[in-house]
A and B are shown apart, each in its own frame.
Chain A
């Protein structure tokens, strides 16, 4: 093994996974001297009965839920954050719990910024603008959880907030909550997790700890994706996918944003397609671009994809290439995933707009790389 070199790694969340994970939330909140959480979720999650399971899991505890707000809309807005912050104060709450993904978690982070600092959330837009520790934030992922929900980033009203203080303090991955509702939802989550994990793994600044999380995420997805797509309600497969999302979040949060994430998020915002679908098309294109640019693939990718036996049985010089092939094979087996952005009906001008937006949001990326990957994704990788 090579010397790890110099690196930093930070992921503050306590992760509780498995049967009864939610029932531990009161004890964890108690550790922060909090017993009066403000719970946020959306209508879809509420209709599926998950918040009821959450409340039931908290039985026999001293926790009193200040309010269970189940009307978080699909688009998170600053005005909603302000209203909810006032609601939080009026009820005398002391912590925030988000049940769900996407806007629910973004709004929870926004409310937490507002109530912890007493200031307008707009003042925290940008990178590292949050002045200090916030109130405890617990995230209870559902099947639709994405790794970026579990990082120190939030997007409210199209504005980006990024700070280590925005990271959840506790993540409770409970099998009651993460069972998939549909194939599309599973695919969306899986592709985002896989893209984040692979990008973190192949990043030039990868370090041993981000590698560990990324390879765990890749391994879990390789093992559980097919079963999860076939039977979204399967407990073991759902837990595998949810754990992969958490691991990918830890890896992703410690590496610079990659081409696939940057383009995928912008395309999703501009076209309304699920980010997972966009990233699922962009990732094979990005891997093909790497191959064309003769950038060597990490040999450990094979270990993550196929396990130790396959890694040990492959000559050292061929491992990187075989790892990439294995990843491409995984994509080829996903029948429900469109192969090109044209299949998703993404017009060329939207693709160009996505490149511009991605460059604006991530100036460290190169336009040439973004355009090449987008070009390959439009037509598909043979």
Chain B
């Protein structure tokens, strides 16, 4: 006779510190998405190509956190908070687990590397998803010092691709809008 009590059900625990960090980073990124769409020429071009009903849910499966970003009625990019309920999401970008999200958002792995290592699931339009990753790379370049941003992006942009004037102007304005 097998003693069932010896082998109880196990509910794997939470990863609170990682969750708190990821929540914070997604909040910062969400606000930064909105900010950069107003101040940077390159970002404006990328967002302009996205459909009018664009609503992105960037999240960690299965229990979040979420970052919802989308276009409002005027076609402007807006951070729509952490709750996707009631929003018409057109594209989901799901990170498969909290560890992968933490690794990605601590820049141990760039978003491109994370994608190539099968840590992201995209549910929606692929060109739009590529655009989102492009903006994420741009945000990392603008928000982070070079030595950190280099870890997070596929290729750190050269002067010819992102002039120092544009970089510093966009950086300053993004930060101002982020904290304002």
Which residues B1-24 have CB closer than 8 A to chain A?
2, 4, 7-15, 18-19
Specify which of A20, A24, A69, A86 is in contact with B103 (CB 8 Å cutoff): A20
The reply to whether B12 and A59 contact each other, CB–CB distance below 8 Å, is: yes
Q: Which of A11-36 contact B (CB under 8 A)?
A: 16, 18-20, 23-24, 26-27, 30
Chain A residues whose CB sits within 8 angstroms of the CB of B2 once the complex forms: 83-84, 86-87
Contact A61 B62 (CB under 8 A): yes
User: Does A56 reach chain B (CB closer than 8 Å)?
Assistant: yes
Bound-state CA distance A13–B2 (Å) is: 32
Contact (Cβ within 8 A) B63 A67: no
Q: Which residue of B lies closest to A27 (CB)?
A: B96
Query: Which chain A residue shows the least CB distance to B63?
Result: A60
Cβ contact within 8 Å between B8 and A20: no
Residue in chain B with minimal CB distance to A28: B96
Kindly state the separation between the CA atoms of A171 and B67 in the bound complex, as whole angstroms. Answer: 31
* Interface members, chain B 36-86 (any A CB < 8 Å): 60-63
How many Å from the CB of B17 to the closest CB on chain A?
A: 11
Main secondary structure of the interface of B (DSSP, over half): loop
Query: B13 contacts which chain A residues (CB < 8 A)?
Result: 56, 59
Judged by a CB distance under 8 angstroms, whether A362 is at the interface is no
Q: How far is the CB of B9 from chain A (nearest CB, A)?
A: 6
Most chain B CB within a 10 A radius of its CB, from A20, A64, A65, A90: A20
Residues from chain A with a CB closer than 8 A to the CB of B91 are none
- Say whether A65 contacts B96, CB under 8 Å: no
| Across-interface contacts of B10 in A (CB, < 8 A) | 55, 64-65, 68
* Complex Cα–Cα for A97 and B12 (A): 15
Say whether A367 faces chain B, with CB atoms less than 8 Å apart.
no
A66 is an interface residue with CB less than 8 A from chain B: yes
Q: Which residue of B lies closest to A38 (CB)?
A: B7
A26 touches B62 (CB 8 A): yes
A91 at the interface (CB under 8 A from B): yes
Q: Is the CB–CB distance between A61 and B4 below 8 Å? A: no
Judge if A332 is at the interface, Cβ distance under 8 Å: no
- Given contacts A55-B12, A60-B15, A69 and B7 within 8 Å (CB-CB): yes
Q: Is the interface of A mostly helix, strand, loop or mixed?
A: mixed
B18 contact set on A, CB distance < 8 A = 60
Using Cβ atoms and an 8 Å threshold, which residues of chain A touch B60? 60
Residues of A within 8 A of B121 (CB): 27
Q: Does A58 have its Cβ within 8 Å of any Cβ on chain B? A: yes
Q: Is the CB of B8 within 8 A of A60?
A: no
- Could you tell me if B100 and A20 are in contact, using CB atoms closer than 8 angstroms? yes
Find the B residue at minimum CB distance from A51.
B10
The residue of chain A having its C-beta at the shortest distance from the C-beta of B2 within the complex is A83
How distant is the Cα of A20 from the Cα of B7 in the complex, in angstroms? 26
Cα A260 to Cα B103 in complex, Å, equals 44
In chain B between 115 and 141, which residues have their CB closer than 8 angstroms to a CB of chain A? 117-119, 121
Asked if A65 and B12 make an inter-chain contact with CB atoms under 8 angstroms apart, the answer reads yes
Which of B7, B15, B61 is within 8 Å of A68, CB to CB?
B7
Given the complex, which residues of B lie within 8 Å of A30, measured CB to CB? 61-62
User: Which residue on chain B has the smallest CB distance to residue A25?
Assistant: B97
The distance in angstroms between the C-alpha atoms of A56 and B13, with both chains bound, is: 7
Q: How far is the CA of A218 from the CA of B61 in the complex (A)?
A: 37
- Please name all residues of chain B whose beta carbon is closer than 8 Å to the beta carbon of A84 when the two chains form the complex: 2
CB distance from B113 to the nearest CB of A (A): 11
Q: For B61, what are the chain A residues with a Cβ–Cβ distance below 8 Å?
A: 27, 30
**Which of A23, A26, A56, A86 has most B Cβ within 10 Å?**
A23
- Is A164 part of the contact surface with B, judged by Cβ < 8 Å? no
Closest to B22 in A: A60
Shortest CB-to-CB span from B105 to chain A, Å, is: 14
Residues on the A chain within 8 Å of B19, using CB: 60
- Interface: A63 (CB within 8 A): yes
Question: In whole angstroms, what is the CA distance A306 to B15 when docked?
Answer: 45
A59 engages B96 (CB within 8 Å): no
A62 CB-CB contact with B under 8 Å: yes
A194 to B142, CA, bound (A): 50
Q: B14 touching A60 by the CB < 8 A rule?
A: yes
- Give, as a whole number of angstroms, the nearest-CB distance from B99 to chain A: 5
Q: Which of A40-96 contact B (CB under 8 A)?
A: 55-70, 83-84, 86-87, 90-91
> Could you list 20 further interchain pairs (A-B, Cβ under 8 angstroms) beyond the known A60-B18, A68-B10?
A23-B98, A24-B100, A24-B118, A26-B62, A26-B97, A27-B121, A55-B10, A58-B12, A59-B15, A59-B98, A60-B63, A61-B63, A61-B97, A63-B12, A64-B9, A65-B9, A65-B12, A67-B7, A84-B2, A87-B2
Please list the residues of chain B having a beta carbon within 8 angstroms of any beta carbon in chain A: 2, 4, 7-15, 18-19, 60-63, 96-100, 103, 117-119, 121
A-side residues, CB < 8 A to B, are 16, 18-20, 23-24, 26-27, 30, 55-70, 83-84, 86-87, 90-91
Top 9 nearest A-B pairs (CB, nearest first) are: A58-B12, A65-B10, A23-B97, A67-B7, A60-B98, A59-B12, A23-B99, A27-B96, A62-B62
